[in-house]
Amino acid sequence: MWIDTHVHLDAPEFAADLPAVVGRARAAGVAQMVIPAIGTVDFDAVRELAHRYRLTYALGIHPLLSGSEPDDALERLQQALQVHRDDPRLVAVGEIGLDFFVEGLDRQRQEDLYTGQLKLARHYGLPVLLHSRRAVDAVLKHLRRIEVPGGIAHAFNGSLQQATRFVERGFRLGFGGALTFERALQIRRLAQQVPVEAIVTETDAPDIPPQWLYKTAEQRAAGARSRNEPAELPRIAGVLAALRGLPVDELAARTRDNAGAVLPRLLAVTDADDA
């Protein structure tokens, strides 16, 4: 059984055929998925999808939306967490974090939203799903100040030292399609070096397509599109298993346990659905 700990099923790319997308994932052995919100307007949508398809979800505000969120965004998140605090399918606060790669974003606004969301996660006893792009040290700095019940560093691409700091704080590291590229030396090296107990699997679909779905700039300019799907997770994980020299079945079991350890509600609701 595979778990996709990060997939945006509410994205417009899936609007036309979402039942088929979920069906293909389940047929491929992806038994559970986590759908993170990226803004206040997504809160109802991700929750509805999780209940409709017997999946799980997270509520949070993505740093890339920090400039377009209303002034009362944190209050809206707090209200949603309060209303749904007992929903077993609500497994985390996310997707939250910092992004210093995209130009034009207000860093102070990002940090205010990020730290406010860490405080909400701490208050409600929920782990967090972290976005960090060229901002790992800043993300860790605030985690040292505002302790939360662990979480997942999504699409992790920092150093081994930074990875160790996350693991020491009870976090797992999300690996997905990026590691399938032979030239992604840093991510592939990390996937081999970090403890297997620290690894969870993800797709970030429809984004971060694996190598076999990737389209070049020329192909994209000609109209070709590349949509990642959660059904790709077992093949992505097969590359990860080969990098680590592990049997695929063992990796599936280990990453399932890792996801359940850091997102305690996830396996409970999955087991209840299967009962």
Residue 151 near residue 140 (C-beta atoms within 8 A): no
Residue 8 near residue 227 (C-beta atoms within 8 A): no
Is there a binding annotation on residue 182? no
Q: What is the mean pLDDT of the chain?
A: 96
pLDDT tens by residue, 123-143: 999 999 999 999 999 999 999
pLDDT tens by residue, 71-128: 999 999 999 999 999 999 999 999 999 999 999 999 999 999 999 999 999 999 999 9
Is there a binding annotation on residue 8? yes
pLDDT tens by residue, 17-42: 999 999 999 999 999 999 999 999 99
Is there a binding annotation on residue 204? yes
For residue 141 the two structure tokens come to 């700095």
Is there a binding annotation on residue 84? no
Partner residues linked to 132 by β-bridges: 98
pTM (2 decimals)?
0.97
Nearest CA to 166 out of 179, 153, 148, 147 is that of: 153
Q: Structural domains in the chain?
A: 2-274 (3.20.20.140)
C-alpha dihedral sign at 42, 48, 49, 51: positive
Q: Can you give the pLDDT at residue 270? A: 85
* Residue 224 confidence (pLDDT) above 80: no
Strand order in the sheet with 90-99: 2-4, 30-36, 56-59, 90-99, 128-133, 151-153, 171-175, 199-201
Q: Can you give the pLDDT at residue 68? A: 96
* Residue 169 confidence (pLDDT) above 90: yes
* Residue 275 confidence (pLDDT) above 80: no
From the number of C-beta atoms within 10 Å of its C-beta (0-12, 13-18, 19+), residue 107 rates as middle
Is there a binding annotation on residue 123? no
Is there a binding annotation on residue 131? yes
